[in-house]
């Protein structure tokens, strides 16, 4: 052993009794008993070891050392009288001959107890992240992340993928989110952009003759935080394959991911390949979401026709979706609480009724429901709860209902497993919420189903552009979107036709995507790819609800690094060098 020590704090066992050793680490705790007796817990990366002081001089010395100081302890290993079976080193203790302070903690009080840091205020945790990471429970997630990244890297190389790094300073392009811009000192008034993803560059690698590319790619997007995405930056397992189809991409990930989930996951059960394929529209109709959690056995049924002439105004002539929940023992108060929670998340009101012990409909909106008509399309056994959603937000609310009630109603969610599925056949286009006009639904570089002929037919008004599907796909696990991918549009003519439908002509395409539009004119191979989110994978494996728990130094919800003070102000000289003038500050 090197690094100023003979052993680490998680290493010593009974077989080491009698040895003289040197340990280094943080003084986690000290308990003084009388004038000449003290217990010290020493912690390092590997574990903890108890040190027992049995003389007055050394006892007085440790009294003056604050917790979390780093110290060196040289002493003799002996068997403990009172063993601790919960501790790896619980059979031994160190009787010190020498204790030396290596790095003094000057504060008597810590911002939080290290081993209870996860209970502390999040702002405090992020501000003192270097202390938070000393908590073995927090550190464990970062160690897991390192192991998973190494396993992903090895698996990709075993599948003959080459790891190729792509530029961090690149050009701004319209890819869906806001860019982080970097001003150019040498070219005043011009800006680089940090990559939202290596999308264009990895496609250019395919046109360059590389067959299989991957990297653990850093991506940068100026967007708000979510539970499953950290603001600012994130990492993805970016990959692309030349001369490949959708099924080729599926086969690789179905071979790469299951062993990693089996080895590192919190749960021991995971889907076996091939993963289930669900069409996008079917996912919305059945689960109310394009990110279904298949651990939940609840599904939705469209009952709109049964309420077309309903006396209940919220249902009359509206889309109405029903989610039947068998063997439901929830009380009315519990049901009302859960429906309120659904409304908070979806923005739409939920309605309900139950089938009582006599088989009659009772509670909620029962009086507006025809049991005989509903029985033809819904299973209405005794003690079945039916939750209904209506109106424009019926589909969205149905997805929330399935998630919330599935978790709350016993027997309807097998939580301790990983369930994967592919969502396929996404719409190529959608009507933009803000513009009210036709826009790309996901990736503008995807190959449209039906190719050029379908796009031309839409341009002539012969088919609805909204009916065009794209060769796009998402990988979903336990209701979390792990990645999006697509078979790429590698044909310049098809690309131009695709962009025409969103009011961008050939010159616009060449101006916005000059490298790709030119490269594809030199014989581009058909290619396809995907990019699973590394942060989300580790979050699922660790069984965490927040992605910040598996990132070494995360930002807060407002995209601030409060530990380092970023974003922060810079000097006037720095701004002058970049030809930048600040016209508004945050305080204004």
Note the Cα 264 to chain centre separation in Å: 16
List the beta bridge partners of residue 390.
Answer: 320
Predicted confidence at residue 227, as pLDDT, reads 64
Judge if 99 and 127 occupy the same domain: no
Please report whether residue 562 resides in a domain: no
128 & 237 share domain: yes
Q: Is the same domain home to 74 and 169?
A: no
Judgement on whether residues 346 and 452 belong to the same structural domain of the protein: no
**Burial level of 175, CB count in 10 A (0-12/13-18/19+)?**
middle
* Same domain assignment for residues 248 and 300: no
Same-domain pairing of 404 and 426: no
Pair 404, 430 in one domain: no
Q: Which pair of structure tokens corresponds to residue 271?
A: 């889907």
What distance in Å separates the CA atoms of residue 450 and residue 208, rounded to the nearest whole number? 27
Q: State the 10-residue block means of pLDDT for the chain, 588 residues long.
A: 88 97 97 92 97 95 95 97 94 97 96 97 97 98 98 98 97 81 95 95 97 97 78 94 98 96 93 96 97 98 96 96 97 96 96 95 96 96 97 97 97 96 96 90 90 94 96 97 96 93 91 91 97 97 94 94 95 95 81
What domain range is 317 assigned to? 296-408
In 3D, which of 11, 85, 14, 19 has the Cα closest to residue 42? Answer: 11
Measured in degrees and rounded to the nearest 5, phi and psi for residue 164 equal -125, 125
User: Are residues 355 and 393 located together in one domain of the fold?
Assistant: yes
| Residue 287 to residue 397: CA distance in whole angstroms | 10
Residue 229 has a pLDDT of 74
**The predicted structure's pLDDT at residue 176:** 66
Query: Looking at residue 548, which CATH number applies to its domain?
Result: 3.30.930.10
CATH at residue 67: 2.40.50.140
Alpha helices, DSSP H, located in 66-180: 122-127, 129-132, 136-158
* Pair 378, 433 in one domain: no
In whole angstroms, what is the distance from residue 48 CA to residue 50 CA?
Answer: 7
215 lies in the same domain as 78: no
Do 86 and 125 lie in a common domain?
A: no
- CATH number of the domain where residue 325 is located: 3.30.1360.30
| Cα–Cα dist 306/390, whole Å | 12
What's the residue count for the chain?
Answer: 588
Euclidean distance between CA atoms 383 and 359, whole angstroms: 8
Domain assignment present for residue 222? The answer is: yes
The residue out of 75, 103, 131 marking a domain boundary is 103
291 found inside a domain: no
Final residue in a domain of this structure, among 352, 374, 408: 408
By the 8 A CB rule, do 504 and 512 touch? yes
CA distance 467 to 280: 12
Is residue 51 domain-resident? yes
For the chain, the C-alpha Rg in angstroms (whole number) is 30
In a domain, 560, yes or no: no
Q: Assess if residue 430 is contained within a domain.
A: yes
Question: Where is the domain boundary, 386, 408, 430?
Answer: 408
The three-class DSSP label of residue 122 is helix
Residue 380 and residue 349 in one domain: yes
| Number of domains into which the chain is organized | 3
Q: Is 43 contained in some domain?
A: yes
Q: Give the pLDDT confidence score for residue 445 in this predicted structure.
A: 87
Distance CA 319, CA 304 (A): 5
Query: Does residue 160 belong to any structural domain of this protein?
Result: yes
In the beta sheet, which residues pair with residue 469? 427
């Amino acid at each position: 052993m090197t690094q100023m020590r003979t052993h680490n704090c998680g290493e010593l066992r009974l077989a080491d009794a009698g040895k003289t050793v040197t340990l280094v680490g943080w003084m986690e705790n000290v308990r003084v008993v009388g004038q000449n007796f003290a217990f010290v817990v020493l912690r390092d990366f590997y574990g903890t070891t108890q040190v027992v002081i049995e003389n007055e001089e050394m006892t007085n010395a440790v009294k003056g050392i604050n917790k979390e100081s780093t110290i060196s302890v040289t002493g003799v290993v002996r068997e403990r009288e009172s063993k601790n079976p919960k501790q790896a080193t619980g059979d031994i203790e160190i009787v010190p001959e020498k204790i030396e302070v290596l790095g003094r903690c000057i504060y008597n009080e810590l911002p939080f107890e290290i081993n209870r840091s996860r209970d502390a205020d999040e702002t405090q945790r992020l501000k003192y992240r270097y202390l938070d990471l000393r908590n073995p429970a927090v550190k464990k997630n970062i160690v897991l992340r390192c192991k998973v990244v190494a396993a992903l890297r090895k698996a990709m190389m075993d599948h003959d993928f080459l790891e190729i790094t792509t530029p961090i300073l690149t050009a701004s392009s319209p890819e869906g989110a806001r860019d982080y811009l970097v001003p150019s000192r040498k070219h005043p008034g011009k800006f680089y952009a940090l990559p939202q993803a290596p999308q264009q560059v990895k496609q250019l690698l395919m046109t360059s003759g590389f067959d299989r590319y991957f990297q653990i790619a850093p991506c940068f997007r100026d967007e708000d935080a979510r539970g499953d995405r950290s603001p600012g930056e994130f990492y993805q397992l970016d990959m692309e394959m030349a001369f490949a189809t959708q099924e080729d991409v599926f086969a690789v990930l179905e071979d790469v991911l299951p062993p990693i989930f089996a080895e590192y996951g919190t749960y021991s059960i995971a889907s076996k390949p091939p993963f289930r394929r669900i069409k996008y529209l079917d996912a919305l109709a059945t689960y109310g979401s394009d990110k279904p959690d298949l651990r939940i056995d609840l599904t939705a049924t469209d009952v709109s026709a049964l309420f077309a002439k309903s006396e209940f105004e919220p249902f009359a002539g509206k889309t109405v979706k029903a989610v039947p929940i068998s063997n439901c023992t929830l009380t009315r108060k519990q049901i009302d609480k859960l429906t309120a929670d659904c409304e908070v998340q979806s923005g739409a009101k939920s309605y309900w009724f139950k089938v009582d012990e006599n088989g009659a409909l009772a509670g909620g909106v029962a009086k507006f429901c025809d049991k005989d008509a509903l029985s033809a399309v819904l299973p209405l056994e005794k003690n079945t709860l039916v939750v209904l959603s209506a109106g424009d937000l019926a589909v969205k609310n149905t997805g929330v209902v399935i998630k919330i009630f599935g978790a709350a109603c016993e027997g309807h969610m097998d939580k301790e497993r990983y369930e994967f599925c592919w969502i396929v056949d996404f719409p190529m286009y959608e009507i933009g919420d803000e513009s009210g006009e036709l826009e790309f639904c996901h990736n503008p570089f995807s190959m449209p189903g039906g190719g050029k002929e379908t796009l031309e037919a839409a341009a002539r008004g012969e088919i609805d552009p909204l009916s065009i599907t794209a060769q796009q796909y998402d990988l979903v696990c336990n209701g979390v979107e792990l990645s999006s991918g697509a078979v790429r549009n590698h044909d310049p003519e098809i690309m131009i036709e695709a962009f025409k439908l969103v009011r961008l002509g050939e010159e616009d395409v060449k101006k916005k995507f000059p490298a790709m539009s030119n490269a594809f004119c030199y014989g581009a191979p058909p290619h396809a790819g995907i990019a699973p989110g590394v942060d989300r994978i580790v979050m699922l494996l660790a069984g965490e609800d927040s992605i910040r728990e598996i990132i070494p130094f995360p930002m807060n919800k407002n995209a601030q690094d409060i530990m380092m003070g970023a974003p922060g102000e810079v000097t006037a000289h720095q701004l002058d060098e970049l030809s930048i003038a600040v016209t508004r500050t945050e305080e204004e």
